[in-house]
Structure 1
Amino acid sequence: MRVDGREIPVTGSLLQPLIRRTSDIIRVVLAALWVGVVVAASVITRPEWLALERSVSNIVGFLNPDQSNLVYLVYGMAILALPFAILIELIIGRQWKLLAGYAVSGLVAGLLLSITGTGLSTPQWHLQVPDRLDTFLSQFLDDPRWIAMLAAVLTVSSPWLPTRPRRWLWFLLLAFAPIHLVVSAVVPARAMFGLAVGWLVGAVIVLVVGTPALEVPLDAAVRLLAKRGHTVTAFTVVHPAGRGPLVLAAAVDGPERELMVEMFGKNQRSFGALRQLWRWITFRASETAALHGSMHRAVEHRALMAIAVGELGLAAQTTVAVTALDRGWTLYAHTVPRGTPIAELPGDVLTGVWKSLDTLHRAQVSHGDLRPSEIRINDGTTLFSGFAVAEYGASPAQLQSDVAQLLVSTTAIFGKEPAVRAAINTLGEQTVLTAASRLTKSAMPSGIRKAIPDWSDVLSSARDEVRAQTGHEKIQAEQITRFSRNQIIQLVLLLALVYVAYPFISAVPTFFTQLKTANWWWALLGLAVSGLTYLGAAAALWACASGLVSYRNLVIMQVANTFAATTTPARVGGLALSVRFLQKGGLGAVRATAAVALQQAVQIITHLSLLVVFSIAAGTSADLSHFVPDATVLYLAAGVGVGIIGTFMFVPKLRHWLNNSVRPQLQEVLGELAQLARDPKRFLIIILGCAAITLGQAGALWASVEAFGSGTTFITVTIVTMIGGTLASAAPTPGGVGAVEAALIGGLGAFGLPASIAVPSVLLYRVLTCWLPVFCGWPTMRWLAKKNMI
């Protein structure tokens, strides 16, 4: 790079990768959303839009026909000259490389709008001037291809055009909507679609090609630093522009031999604004600092915080310059941080580190990102660097977060016992205990999580050590986010319940009419029999857990389990709730998971064994072909299975997951099965409990059928329940809603039961075994959570 006659070498790449061009990515996303909105408005609500446009046109349509034609002519000539005006601007500005993007964008936009069901349709433009000029212009103004080409070339060219011409050109293009309302009362939907597609095509090309904002104004930075007495002789890229700023090490002739220069561009500004917005939405107000109005204000705040901490004698760096540069860039230059990082020092520096943090907090200053690299020791004094999220006049929550962050950083370097002991001796037991409630993932900034390997284990060990040294049995985690994990899960479960209940609610009126003919004694018997499934499931899980948890509480948990299993696909919520309950009951994570897996394995074995027994008992007269899938479905399932196996064999991450997560659990289950073979009493309890689940469900369905007039046997109903339930368990809907009903009704019909009995019987069965327990399961699950059992 040559600046003012001097050659300044630049080592490293200044180019920003595509995935970090936040501003350009946002433009593409907005353009895609706009295409969706235009399509939806045109296809779904076009009649309403036409009525609205006519109503607005009656208000603004104050021109007579001659005046309307004059406006149409003037605007038509202007819009016809628009692409040539852009082309002239590019030629005058000597943007030769941009001409290729200009041509490609117009060509692609025109081709996309020329695609029809029969191929490409060519424009029907008659360039011979007709008798009426407005007829000639309407060929272009009403053609979506012309509007798309204009929008595409203007989007590609906009970043390179001067501000004033760019604004006038966009105003001219977007004016076609009000012009049409004044002239013809209705805005052509195809023209709006062309505008949206052209914008999207141009946005994608801008993302690929780049904008002037990607050109780093290093020459301006060199001139600025020279005015401050620092003559730059070389630049070295320390950190390329991406998630953070472009960081360069500048070799200088001046008071300092080297400076750190951080360059913030438009993409960093966009990403910073999105990050601030996300934190404001997800975190509580006391946890977030005030939003910055611009990138310049954010960088300026960081520099001022370095000055404020420097006044306390605790800053490892000194601010040299903060200024705005060309093309939307902001420069922040500071000295190289002084001192040695604490990761390279022995543990006797711990007390000094905590004393410096206490001094910082007494001045009501929080650092906000106390990763090890930002903490240094210089001549026995602890200094801090960074200050990207530091705050003056910090809230108590921000000060507590600092303590929690430093606990994690020092624990990772010096070990948990000396780190916690130094913190308690310096800050006091109560302060450390209060801050320990923020030893959670949500309270740890991403910088610390990336800087510390196995940070989650370090965080857990620090929390356990605080509990041990303070003598407290439990440290209640502080809620950092606006919504806790349990609140989000409960909201999702409620929404899922509404979703799965909607088909049933729509059938309620007809079902209640049919209930008038039901025998309620049989219905009560079905309800009582369905209760056996909870007793059996609790007994099986109790035996799988070796009797280490309360059987009474297990029965209560089964009621809550119904809600969790019904509102999640494939009953995964019920399995997770069972594991959580066993963990709270004292079992380790691996042991609890193995117990639930063991119960499921025995349940499958028992289910298949009963199916074989009852099929033999039913004889060969029953027609089971309704339950056998079509050959195409079987081939498709086999192909999907082979594909899944191949994927797990050839993808290293999936293979690693199988070896390290699934394989140990499988070995644990097989080991438990081997132990069961040597413990007949426990094995019998599990078998009987699993059998009670299957037979209880079959008994409930049989009682429901009897309530509406019978017509089949218990053996038949049992086969239908087992086969139909098995087929429906693969359904992706929560609780198998829809699939279970269809499978059971079809199964009963296959055995000759008329639909007038099968349909209300299955609906009554689902009420007894699904919906009544679900509505009882919600308060039960909340009660278990309140009692800290889940």
Structure 2
Amino acid sequence: MRVDGREIPVTGSLLPPLTRRTSDIIRVVLAALGVGVVVVGSVITRPEWLALERSVSNIIGFLNPAQSNLVYLCYGVAILILPFVILIELVWRRQWKLMAGYAAAGLVAGLLLSITGTGLSAPQWHLQVPDRLDTFLSQFLDDPRWIAGAAAVLTVSSPWLPTRVRRFMWFLLLAFAPIHLVVSTVVPARAMFGLAVGWLVGAVIVLAVGTPALEVPLDAAVRLLAGRGRTVTAFTVLRPAGPGPLVLAAAVDGAERELIVDLYGKNQRSHSALRQLWRRLTFRSSETPSPYGSMHRAVEHRGLLALAVRDAGVAAHEPIAVSGLARGWSLYAHSVPHGRPLAESGAEILPAVWAALGTLREHQIAHGDLRPSEIRVRDGAVLFGGFASAEYGASDTQLQSDIAQLLVTTTSLFGREPAVRTAIEALGEQAVLDASRRLTKFALPPGMRRSVPDWSDRLGEARSEVRKQTGQDRIEAEQITRFSRNQIIQLVLLVGLVYVAYPFISAVPTFFTQLRTANWWWALLGLGISSLTYVGAAVALWACASRGISLWGLIVMQIANTFAATTTPARIGGLALSVRYLQKGGLGAVRATAAVALQQAVQVLTHITLLLFFSVAAGTSADLSHFVPDATVLYLIAGVGVGIIGTFTFVPKLRGWLNDSVRPQLQEVLGELVALARDPKRSVLIVLGCGAITLGQAGALWASVQAFGGGTTFITVTIVTMIGGTLASAAPTPGGVGAVEAALIGGLAAFGLPAEVAVPAVLLYRVLTCWLPVFCGWPIMRGLSAQNKI
């Protein structure tokens, strides 16, 4: 690079990789969304758009036919010559390298819109002058290929065009739709599609080729530093531009001998804006500082914080210059950080580290990014660098975040015991305890997570050591994000509930008509019997957990469990909620999982035993074809099962997962079953509880059948409930909605119950055993979550 007659060598690549060109990536994403919107509008809602366009055209189409033709003629001429004007502008400005991109954009856009089901369709443009000039121009104005080519070449050329010229050309091209409405015509859908495709093609080419914003104004940086008394002799790229700035080492003539120059371009501004937007949407307001109006303001803030920290006596470098450069770039130059990295020091430096953080706290300064590389040691004093995330006049939240970050950093470098002990001695037990609530994944900056090896392990070590040294049983994590994990799960479950309830809601009018003939005393009896299932499930789980949990709490949890189980396929939500409740009650993760698995295993054994018993007791033949799948389905299920077994056998990762995760839990369950056989009282409680679940469901269905006139025995209903419920449990729909009703109605019909009794009886049974508990379970689950019991 030659600046003012001097040759200044530059070592390293100044260009960011394609994946880091944030501004260009955003342009591609928006263009792709534009194509999607046009496609959806053309294919799905085109009739509504036509009606709207005709209405708008009738309102604003005030021109008579002669005036409309004149406007159409003038605009058509402008669109026809637009690509040629862009080409002349590029030639005039000698943008020879851009010619390839210009040609590629026009050709690709035209070819994409020439593809048909039978191959490529050539343009049918008649260039001879016809009798009506507006008819001649309409060939180009309404042809999607010409519009796409014009949009593509304008997108590619825009970054190199002057601002006023670029804005005028885009205004001219985007006036395509309003002009059609003014002249009382409907906007051609194919031309709008061409406009969107052309923008997308141009955006992709711009991403690949680059823009002037990628050209780093190093010559301006050299002149700026020369004005500060530092003559640059060479540049070396230390870190290419990406999420952060382009970092260069500048060799200079002077006392410093070397400076660090951080350069921020438009891509960093776009990335910063997206990051700020994401944080404001997902993090609480106390966690997000005020957004910067521009990248220059952010760089300026960093320089001012460096001055403030220098005045406090703990700055690792001196700010040299902050300035805006050409093409939207900003510069922040500072001296090389003093001292050696913290990682090269021993544990004896820990008191000085926490004393330096105390100095920042006294000046109400939060650093915000205390990764190991930003902490240095010079002559026994600890200094800080960085300051890109620092805040002056910091809140208590930001100051606590600094303590949590430094706990992780010092734990990673010096071990958890000395790191936590020194922090407590320097800042006090309560300050460290409050800050330890922020030892969570989302509370740590992404850059710090990348810089600390095995950061999740260090996080857990620091949290457990704080708990140990402060004598706390547990440390409640601070909620950093706007929505906690439990809140997101509850939202998903609520959406699932709406989805699964829709078929039932559509049948509500007919069902209410049939309810007029029901005997409500039998319905109340069914509700009472169904409530026994929750008591039975709670007793069984209480015994499986070795009776270490409150029985009443388990009964209440079973109602919330109904909501979680109904709104998730295969009732996995209910199982997860049970495990979570037992863990919150004091059981370990493996022990809680084993207790729930033991209950499910005994439930299956009890279910099968009762099914065999009642089948023998029925002593009657019935058409059970509703329950038995076709042979093809059975073969398919068997083939899928064999394939799954083979996959888990031959894939090393899956085989390892079976050995490391599943096998210990199976051994735990088998051990519990053996211990259960040696404890008769506990065995009886679990078996009775599991039996109450099955018999309670059968009793509720029998009472529902009696409410509409009866016609079958309790034994028959029990068989239908067990067989139909078992088959329907494999349904992929949450709560088995649709499958349960079909299986039960078909089963009752197989035993001779009329449809006019079976259908309303099954619907009433589902109301009593599913939907009423679901709507009661939602507020109960929220209450348990608020009490931190799940």
The answer to whether TM tops 0.5 is yes
**2:541 partner letter:** L
> Which residue number in structure 2 is paired with residue 298 of structure 1?
298
CA distance in 1, matches of 2:365, 2:336: 22
> Which residue number in structure 1 is paired with residue 547 of structure 2?
547
Q: Judging changes above 3 Å, is the alpha-carbon distance between structure 1 residues 259 and 636 closer, same or farther for their aligned structure 2 residues?
A: farther
**2:389 partner letter:** V
CA distance in 2, matches of 1:727, 1:156: 60
CA contact (8 A) 1:53 1:187 kept: yes
For the residue of structure 2 that corresponds to 1:128, the secondary structure is coil
**2:777 partner letter:** G
Q: Deviations over 1:306-331 (max 9, x none)?
A: 12211222110122233333443323
For the residue of structure 2 that corresponds to 1:575, the secondary structure is helix
Find out whether 1:749 has 2:761 as its counterpart: no
Which stretch of the first structure deviates more once superposed, 39-48 or 583-592? 39-48
For the residue of structure 1 that corresponds to 2:333, the secondary structure is strand
CA distance in 2, matches of 1:649, 1:159: 56
> Which residue number in structure 2 is paired with residue 131 of structure 1?
131
**2:496 partner letter:** A
1:532 CA drift (Å): 2.7
Q: Judging changes above 3 Å, is the alpha-carbon distance between structure 1 residues 328 and 609 closer, same or farther for their aligned structure 2 residues?
A: farther
Q: Judging changes above 3 Å, is the alpha-carbon distance between structure 1 residues 649 and 251 closer, same or farther for their aligned structure 2 residues?
A: farther
CA distance in 2, matches of 1:6, 1:249: 18
Matches within 5 A, 1:156-555: 156-555=156-555
1:291 CA drift (Å): 0.5
CA distance in 1, matches of 2:649, 2:198: 44
Which stretch of the first structure deviates more once superposed, 97-106 or 141-150? 97-106
> Which residue number in structure 2 is paired with residue 108 of structure 1?
108
Q: Judging changes above 3 Å, is the alpha-carbon distance between structure 1 residues 629 and 288 closer, same or farther for their aligned structure 2 residues?
A: same
Q: Judging changes above 3 Å, is the alpha-carbon distance between structure 1 residues 90 and 758 closer, same or farther for their aligned structure 2 residues?
A: farther
- The two structures, once aligned, show a CA RMSD in angstroms of 2.9
> Which residue number in structure 2 is paired with residue 776 of structure 1?
776
CA distance in 1, matches of 2:617, 2:408: 65
CA contact (8 A) 1:424 1:432 kept: yes
Matches within 5 A, 1:558-569: 558-569=558-569
Which stretch of the first structure deviates more once superposed, 527-536 or 635-644? 635-644
1:707 CA drift (Å): 2.2
CA distance in 2, matches of 1:27, 1:638: 50
Which stretch of the first structure deviates more once superposed, 332-341 or 636-645? 636-645
CA distance in 1, matches of 2:230, 2:217: 17
For the residue of structure 2 that corresponds to 1:624, the secondary structure is coil
CA distance in 2, matches of 1:721, 1:9: 83
Q: Judging changes above 3 Å, is the alpha-carbon distance between structure 1 residues 630 and 320 closer, same or farther for their aligned structure 2 residues?
A: farther
1:389 CA drift (Å): 0.8
Q: Judging changes above 3 Å, is the alpha-carbon distance between structure 1 residues 618 and 190 closer, same or farther for their aligned structure 2 residues?
A: farther
CA contact (8 A) 1:523 1:703 kept: yes
Equivalent pairs, count = 790
Find out whether 1:20 has 2:1 as its counterpart: no
1:120 CA drift (Å): 4.5
CA contact (8 A) 2:147 2:195 kept: yes
Find out whether 1:36 has 2:48 as its counterpart: no
Matches within 5 A, 1:573-652: 573-615=573-615, 621-630=621-630, 633=633, 637=637
CA distance in 2, matches of 1:271, 1:357: 30
Q: Judging changes above 3 Å, is the alpha-carbon distance between structure 1 residues 592 and 54 closer, same or farther for their aligned structure 2 residues?
A: same
For the residue of structure 2 that corresponds to 1:626, the secondary structure is coil
CA contact (8 A) 2:261 2:331 kept: yes
CA distance in 2, matches of 1:219, 1:633: 74
Q: Deviations over 1:522-543 (max 9, x none)?
A: 3233223222322222222222
Q: Judging changes above 3 Å, is the alpha-carbon distance between structure 1 residues 90 and 640 closer, same or farther for their aligned structure 2 residues?
A: farther
> Which residue number in structure 2 is paired with residue 695 of structure 1?
695
CA distance in 2, matches of 1:13, 1:595: 59
CA contact (8 A) 2:626 2:743 kept: no
CA contact (8 A) 1:410 1:419 kept: yes
1:367 CA drift (Å): 0.7
Which stretch of the first structure deviates more once superposed, 538-547 or 739-748? 739-748
Which stretch of the first structure deviates more once superposed, 348-357 or 702-711? 702-711
CA contact (8 A) 2:9 2:234 kept: yes
Which stretch of the first structure deviates more once superposed, 375-384 or 550-559? 550-559
CA distance in 1, matches of 2:219, 2:750: 83
Q: Judging changes above 3 Å, is the alpha-carbon distance between structure 1 residues 183 and 241 closer, same or farther for their aligned structure 2 residues?
A: same
Q: Which runs of 5+ in 2 are unaligned?
A: none
Q: Judging changes above 3 Å, is the alpha-carbon distance between structure 1 residues 95 and 599 closer, same or farther for their aligned structure 2 residues?
A: farther
1:342 CA drift (Å): 2.3
CA distance in 2, matches of 1:759, 1:630: 24
CA distance in 2, matches of 1:684, 1:2: 90
CA distance in 1, matches of 2:197, 2:749: 53
For the residue of structure 1 that corresponds to 2:734, the secondary structure is coil
TM-score normalised according to structure 1 size: 0.92
For the residue of structure 2 that corresponds to 1:321, the secondary structure is strand
Q: Judging changes above 3 Å, is the alpha-carbon distance between structure 1 residues 284 and 528 closer, same or farther for their aligned structure 2 residues?
A: same
CA distance in 2, matches of 1:142, 1:521: 72
1:50 CA drift (Å): 3.6
TM-score normalised according to structure 2 size: 0.92
1:138 CA drift (Å): 0.8
CA distance in 2, matches of 1:639, 1:88: 67
**2:383 partner letter:** L
Q: Judging changes above 3 Å, is the alpha-carbon distance between structure 1 residues 535 and 54 closer, same or farther for their aligned structure 2 residues?
A: same
Q: Deviations over 1:4-40 (max 9, x none)?
A: 6655554444443333222222122212222233333
1:132 CA drift (Å): 0.7
Which stretch of the first structure deviates more once superposed, 321-330 or 309-318? 321-330
CA distance in 2, matches of 1:549, 1:30: 54
CA distance in 2, matches of 1:174, 1:786: 53
Find out whether 1:53 has 2:53 as its counterpart: yes
Q: Deviations over 1:198-248 (max 9, x none)?
A: 222322333334333334444443444444444444444333322222223
CA distance in 2, matches of 1:555, 1:636: 40
1:420 CA drift (Å): 2.9
Q: Judging changes above 3 Å, is the alpha-carbon distance between structure 1 residues 223 and 632 closer, same or farther for their aligned structure 2 residues?
A: farther
1:678 CA drift (Å): 4.2
Q: Judging changes above 3 Å, is the alpha-carbon distance between structure 1 residues 529 and 138 closer, same or farther for their aligned structure 2 residues?
A: same
For the residue of structure 2 that corresponds to 1:238, the secondary structure is strand
For the residue of structure 2 that corresponds to 1:411, the secondary structure is helix
> Which residue number in structure 2 is paired with residue 673 of structure 1?
673
CA contact (8 A) 2:486 2:785 kept: no
1:572 CA drift (Å): 2.1
CA contact (8 A) 1:230 1:255 kept: no
Q: Judging changes above 3 Å, is the alpha-carbon distance between structure 1 residues 698 and 119 closer, same or farther for their aligned structure 2 residues?
A: farther
For the residue of structure 2 that corresponds to 1:259, the secondary structure is strand
**1:778 partner letter:** W
1:635 CA drift (Å): 5.9
CA distance in 2, matches of 1:606, 1:118: 64
1:658 CA drift (Å): 4.2
1:174 CA drift (Å): 0.7
Q: Judging changes above 3 Å, is the alpha-carbon distance between structure 1 residues 732 and 253 closer, same or farther for their aligned structure 2 residues?
A: farther
> Which residue number in structure 2 is paired with residue 572 of structure 1?
572
1:173 CA drift (Å): 0.8
Q: Judging changes above 3 Å, is the alpha-carbon distance between structure 1 residues 643 and 115 closer, same or farther for their aligned structure 2 residues?
A: farther
CA distance in 1, matches of 2:42, 2:69: 27
Which stretch of the first structure deviates more once superposed, 605-614 or 509-518? 605-614
Q: Judging changes above 3 Å, is the alpha-carbon distance between structure 1 residues 317 and 751 closer, same or farther for their aligned structure 2 residues?
A: farther
CA distance in 2, matches of 1:449, 1:441: 8
**1:180 partner letter:** H
CA contact (8 A) 2:412 2:458 kept: yes
For the residue of structure 1 that corresponds to 2:570, the secondary structure is coil
CA distance in 2, matches of 1:646, 1:93: 66
Q: Judging changes above 3 Å, is the alpha-carbon distance between structure 1 residues 241 and 624 closer, same or farther for their aligned structure 2 residues?
A: farther
Q: Deviations over 1:433-489 (max 9, x none)?
A: 333333333322222322233434433443444444445555444333333333333
> Which residue number in structure 1 is paired with residue 84 of structure 2?
84
